[in-house]
Structure 1
Amino acid sequence: MDALLHGFITATARLGLDYCFLLDDYERVPFVQGLGVSIEIIVSTMTASAVAGLVLLLALRGRNQLVAGLARGFIEVTRNTPTLVQLYCAFLVLNMLITQWLRARSIDNPLKPFFWVVLVLSLHKAAFHAEALRAGFDALPSQTLEGAASLGLSRATRFWRIELPLALRAALPALVNNMVELVKASAVASAIAVGDVTYESIMIWTQRDNVLALMLLILAFFGVLTWLVTLAGRWLERRYRIPGYGY
């Protein structure tokens, strides 16, 4: 492995790329840890945003008009404001207010920057998930819904057993696209000093001035992750394709 690493560094040096930091434990270890933190953020936000998106959908389709109106307002505000601004508002304003309130009671704030990144990204992308699912519900054939109702199934049974599974299949392309966007959006974590791959790269290139080399690594990292998400999404689309639709 050491021989391969030295060979890689030597070969890329001929192209003007400086990857010597990979030989320094002081810099290599944080960088590798940053890769892991980025993956943790992505996995956490994918899971949380999917759950939050379903909750928003339930609120939108519920019978309580007040709850539906609040859900619609949240979606519009979230979709129409930048993710970075939302993150700053949450971390620099809301988190500071929570810290001051807890400090007055001699309690340390347990909410770390990682939490705020996951929370903001999850809620931001949940708004897009809810809209994608809403479109999936709107695409359901009316005959299918009428048939389910004619069988005497309850509203909840129709939703969980018939409408939601079909709507998920119809919304899969949009949902996968949202997940791809989420992978890329995870890079905003560096804005509040979360030690992800972007933040650790910034720390390295401020010392070594090897911005191009590290930017290429970051691009490759996110490129591979988005490619894997896309492959998984295409497999799901083929696996859960509705027979008779789209072909």
Structure 2
Amino acid sequence: MSSTNAISTALDALARVGLDYRFLLDAYDRTPFLTGMLTSLEIVVSTLAGSVVAGFVLLLLLRSRNRAVAGTTRAFVELARNTPTIVQLYCAFLVLNMLLSQWLHQQNLDNPFKPFFWVVFVLSLHKGAFHAEALRAGFDAVPAQTLEGAESLGLSRWVRLRRVELPLAIRTALPALVNNMVELVKASSLASAIAVGDITYQSIMIWTQRDNVLALMIVILLFFGALTWLVSRAGRWLERRLWVPGYGH
């Protein structure tokens, strides 16, 4: 029996117990499904990186000596933390994107921002707000004696931030940051809400034709479960790697 026949026989056997994966034999369904898995990975990687950048920027703005800047940033952080992610995504895509498209149309220009961009943009800012709060707590946990010692050495505010406060604050905030990233991986499935062709969206397209919801839901659960497990393990490794004996444990 050839490998193709063996796979077909195995998929037929699974279909008889209610797990229909025979769409994998059809290139018409298999290709977009595999593309959807790749798109989901791209969203996760992009938003993880984007949220870290957004978190650091928001933290710096929160710590600004300009009260207007710090106050405005605080208002944004509270708004981002206290409203549903999907509502933020709809507001960005259905409102901001539409207004931008109308303005560009008046200028005889096309809107370069596709749904993929809005997913990455919104999720990065949303979790960036949580990262900023976790980092703020980390900075608050830095011992005052350490800051006084750095100041007595004549270190500038920027040098103290970069070489003293930030390394210690990250170690304290890392468990919360990793938890935020795990939540971000799960939130990436919301991309299907605005028709981004990720694994969730492609699965919906397949099961509406083949009525194999259970089989595909299992794949989606395993897919995101594996991603969150990898992020969690990477975070644990980083915690051990950055541990300073006598500090934080």
TM-score, shorter chain, exceeding 0.5: yes
Count of equivalent residues? 247
- Partner of 1:17, secondary structure, is coil
Once the two structures are TM-superposed, the CA of residue 6 in structure 1 deviates from its matched residue by 2.8
The 3 A distance-change label for structure 1 pair 4 and 59 is: farther
Amino acid of the structure 2 residue aligned with 1:56: L
In structure 1, which of residues 22, 25, 35 is the aligned counterpart of residue 24 of structure 2?
Answer: 22
For 1:246 and 1:103, the matched residues in 2 are separated by 55
TM-score (norm 1): 0.97
User: Equivalent residue for 1:95?
Assistant: 97
CA RMSD of aligned residues (A): 1.2
The 3 A distance-change label for structure 1 pair 238 and 7 is: farther
User: Equivalent residue for 2:65?
Assistant: 63
Once the two structures are TM-superposed, the CA of residue 99 in structure 1 deviates from its matched residue by 0.7
- Partner of 1:132, secondary structure, is helix
After TM superposition, list the pairs within 5 Å mapping 1:153-172 onto structure 2: 153-172=155-174
Amino acid of the structure 2 residue aligned with 1:237: E
For 2:103 and 2:12, the matched residues in 1 are separated by 54
For 2:214 and 2:18, the matched residues in 1 are separated by 9
1:120 aligns with 2:122: yes
Once the two structures are TM-superposed, the CA of residue 2 in structure 1 deviates from its matched residue by 3.1
Once the two structures are TM-superposed, the CA of residue 4 in structure 1 deviates from its matched residue by 5.8
For 1:93 and 1:164, the matched residues in 2 are separated by 37
1:93-137 CA distances to partner (integer Å, 9 max, x unpaired)? Answer: 110111111111211111100000000000000000000000100
- Partner of 1:194, secondary structure, is coil
- Partner of 2:48, secondary structure, is helix
Once the two structures are TM-superposed, the CA of residue 241 in structure 1 deviates from its matched residue by 1.1
Once the two structures are TM-superposed, the CA of residue 189 in structure 1 deviates from its matched residue by 0.3
Once the two structures are TM-superposed, the CA of residue 7 in structure 1 deviates from its matched residue by 5.0
User: Equivalent residue for 1:76?
Assistant: 78
After TM superposition, list the pairs within 5 Å mapping 1:171-182 onto structure 2: 171-182=173-184
The 3 A distance-change label for structure 1 pair 58 and 96 is: same
User: Equivalent residue for 1:195?
Assistant: 197
How many percent identity over aligned positions? 70
For 1:51 and 1:69, the matched residues in 2 are separated by 20
> 180-189 or 3-12, which moves further after superposition?
3-12
Q: Is the 8 A contact 2:171 2:248 kept in 1?
A: no
The 3 A distance-change label for structure 1 pair 192 and 67 is: same
- Partner of 1:62, secondary structure, is coil
Q: Is the 8 A contact 2:138 2:173 kept in 1?
A: yes
TM-score (norm 2): 0.96
- Partner of 1:107, secondary structure, is coil
User: Equivalent residue for 1:145?
Assistant: 147
Unmatched 5+ residue regions in structure 2?
A: none
Amino acid of the structure 1 residue aligned with 2:151: A
In structure 2, which of residues 117, 121, 135 is the aligned counterpart of residue 133 of structure 1?
Answer: 135
The 3 A distance-change label for structure 1 pair 6 and 71 is: same
